[in-house]
Every structure is written in structure tokens, then in C-alpha cells.
Amino acid sequence: MRGPHNIWRLIRTGATLERTGAMNVVLDAFDATPALRFVAKALGKPFKFLGYAGDPSMPPATRALTALGPAYIKFGQVLSTRPDVVGDELAVQLRVLQDKLPPFSIEQAKAEVEKELGLPVDAIFSDFSEPVAAASIAQVHRATIAETQEDVAVKVLRPGIEKAFRKDVDAFYLAARMVELFSPGSRRLRPMEVIEHFDGVVRGELDLRLESSAASEFAANTKGDAGFQLPAIKWEYSARRVMTLGWADGVPMGDNAAIDAAGHDRVALGDRVLQLFLNHALRDGYFHADMHQGNLKVAPNGDIIAYDFGIMGHIDEYTRRVYAEILFGFIRKDYKRVAEVHFEAGYVPADKDVDEFARALRAVGEPIFGMDATRISMARLLTYLFEVTERFGMETRTELILLQRTMVVVEGVARSLNPHINIWEVSNPIVTDYISKSIGPRAVIKDLSKTAMVLARFGPRLPALVENALIRQQDETPPQRPAFRRWIILSAIVGAGTATGIIAILQALS
């Protein structure tokens, strides 16, 4: 569906941006060139009368996106996780974007449930309420399972939402191509990749089986975490467009008065929410990436309950180790080591000066560590760190931007519960424990165990692989053959210490 017919959608978008006063805000955030500004104005200003008015009480950008509908609301929310693309100021505006739309009727919801689960709603649920929450993609109903009388939340996708999103996403792809064409400098922000990322997020949220799977994996990872619980997924009552999970009873995390009235310790809750997030990110590499107050409750027993698993973050084990060592280097004020880690990981181009980079990192760390302990912000450290690495040519890594954004949100939740929280003091046990396991002697033993398993699996094939590779080199010129043999020997020596090295050699030889 991508093509010129999407120009009408872009005209309506431009007209709405003009009418709501958001056009210049958006263009400034993207550092638009004169050519791109001309095209954007041409698509919007003459057709301003066609734009939606939106809610005048909202900031311009959120007003425009809310007026344009579900796909634009979701796009704004995803962009709020990418301050590297839209800038910090606009990212903050988009972060508070209201994801509330008029609900669709209970009759439509029941029809969707019956179609997906293959049974009448009354045969499954003895009670099925009016919508209790309505968002851009789905809405939630409270229900009671007829067989067990258990209270559950039933999430149902909006009728026709897939087709509506597909149309708007097609227009987004066209807009990204136009941005790249008329603003070559914007290519460093990789607008097409931003849209592809958004497309992937939306495709995941439009299949509730994937969200159910994410919730299930998250629950398996965190089942041993004290003071933390997740609503259980009811797989037998879930499908592609319907998701059923246990009802989360508790006090909203954002209501301090209600938390106090219920007798909960806000200081302990603030510590716990931060430590839980760090554990999930560092220990598991899989974390709730939308951990704001609206997705958290405090159970009657004081446990923190998390829900809404549409946006989850993933960090591979190697990246977790790298960033743990970076964080540990900052804690020790060893800026040279922090710089070296960036170069060793390939995050900063090798042609840059490591000593100059270390001095830039010192400029990041020293002012922060000079603050009073209660004012030190890990989120601010991450923000400054990314600013410096960008200046030195570090490429944007979406998963780390998502980690940074989530860290900012979680830190905000913790400080709202306890304004005097000492972020470093609370974080230190989690970070230290992870470093001791991932970088210390225990990590070496773990790596050697993985290496032994890889050798056990591929060991019998190694002689044949090496022999075949050497035979294939017989037709090459003599100067190349010794070089290749030296490469084989060197790779075997260097790579034998890690499972990753062995796998790399096998891949090269196959």
C-alpha cells in the first residue's frame, strides 16, 4: 500500500500540525533543513482548514498526535523512548501523551471474544463489565471466570485496528523517505529505521499472543523476586486478539496518599522498585520498558505489581557486561578504563583518541559525583554519557536508548515515593553483585563451562572443518595460504578461551 496515494494522509497530518501549532515544534526537534521545512509547510499550510483542532489544553505536539488518532498516539509514545531522535524536550512532552480514547461498545468486545475463543462470553465468564480502560490499540474489561469464579482482566483489541494501523504506517514510511530525500543530514537519525522499529513494536502489540508470551517469560525470570508479583496469564482464555490475565488488586503507585493510608512504607517501596528494575535489566537482560506509575500497583501485602507488557526491553549478555564495567568504572572514577571499555566493545571508532575520550568522560562524571548523594541521578549519568559518546561517533543502539528512557522513568517513580532516596546507595548492592558474577572469577568459570559444552557439541567436527577449509585454500596463491594458516592458529589460540570465540571460528570455517 506504500506509494503516492499516501500523500493525502500526509496532507491531513501536515494540516493538523499547522492548525495545532505543532509544525515548528516538530521541525525544530528534527533539526529540519530549509528544503524539508518548505516541503512540510507546503503539505500543511495551504490545507490548514483540513486539520483536526485537537484539545487546546494540551501542548502542541501531544495535541496534534492525539487528534490524529491511535497510530499517531502510539507513534508519539514510541518516539518518547528515542530522545536521540526527537530531542529531550519533545521526548518529555511525548512521554506524558495520553493514550485514552473513547471505548468501543461492550457488544463489540463480546463479539471479538466469542470469535477468538470460540464460545459465547456467558459460557466463559459469569460477569463481563463495561470497559474499565480504553487505549489506542485495545481496551480492558473486568470479568469473572464462570468455572473458577476468579476475577480477571480481559484485554480486547479494537475492531479493525490492524487495517487502520497498516494505512497510517504506510504513510509514515513515505514521510521517512521524504525526510531522507529533502534533509540528507537527518540520515544520521536513520528515519527509516525509526519507522521500522515502530512497525515492529506495533506488530507485536497487535498480536496479544506475543504480549502474553512476554508476560510469561517475564514471570518465569522474576518468580523468585521478593516483594514483586505479576498477574498470571490465562492461556486457555487468550488468543491473538484477546488476552486474559489475573486481576491486579492494589493501590495505584502514583497515589501517595492512598499508599500512606494503606500503611505501606514508601521509602521501602522506592528502594524496591529501583532494585527490581536493575535486577531485571542486569541479571536477566529482559525488563519491563514501560514501568511508569500507571502500570504499577501496590498489593495489600505490600508487593509491587506490574502489568501491561506491550513494551519490553532486551539486552544481550555481552552488552550487559560491557555496561556493568562502564558503570563500575564510573563508581571508581576510573575514567580511562571506562574509555577503554568503549573502544574494546567497538562502540567508539578506533580512529578516535582514547585519552581525549577519557577526559570527556571525566567531565561527565566529576560534576555528578560532586553533588549531594540524594541529588545524584543514574539517569542523568546515562544521558550525559550518551551525549558524549554521540560526539565521538558512537552509533545509536535502540536497546540502550530504551534502557536509558526506562531508567529515567523508574528513577522518577522511586523519587516520587521517596524524594530523599540515594540512588547510588540503593543501586550499589545490585550492581556490585552483578559485576562479581559477570566480570569476576565466577564469570570465568561460567565461560569455561560454556566453552566445554560447545567443544563437546562441535569437537568431533573440528578436524574435518579445519581440513576442509585448508583444502579449499589450495587453489589460492602461495602468499595467501600461510597467512590463512596463521589466522587459523591465532584464532584458535585467542578464541579457545570463550565459547563465543569457538563459535566464531566454526562459522568462519563452515
**Which positions are catalytic?**
290
Phi-psi label, residue 21: left if phi above 0, alpha if psi -120 to 50, beta otherwise:
left
Beta pairing class for 312-314 and 286-288:
antiparallel
- Cell numbers placing 159: 475492531
Closest CA to 74 of 102, 104, 97, 90: 97
Helical residues (DSSP H) of 354-422, grouped into ranges: 354-369, 378-391, 398-417
- Rounded CA-CA distance 434/280 in Å is 11
- Rounded CA-CA distance 169/476 in Å is 50
- Rounded CA-CA distance 275/390 in Å is 28
* Three-state helix/strand/coil letters over 304-343: EEECCCCCEEECCHHHHHHHHHHHHHHHHCCHHHHHHHHH
- Cell numbers placing 347: 562502540
- Rounded CA-CA distance 378/390 in Å is 18
- Rounded CA-CA distance 97/116 in Å is 31
- Cell numbers placing 285: 537482560
Beta strands in 88-184 (DSSP E): 125-134, 138-145, 151-157
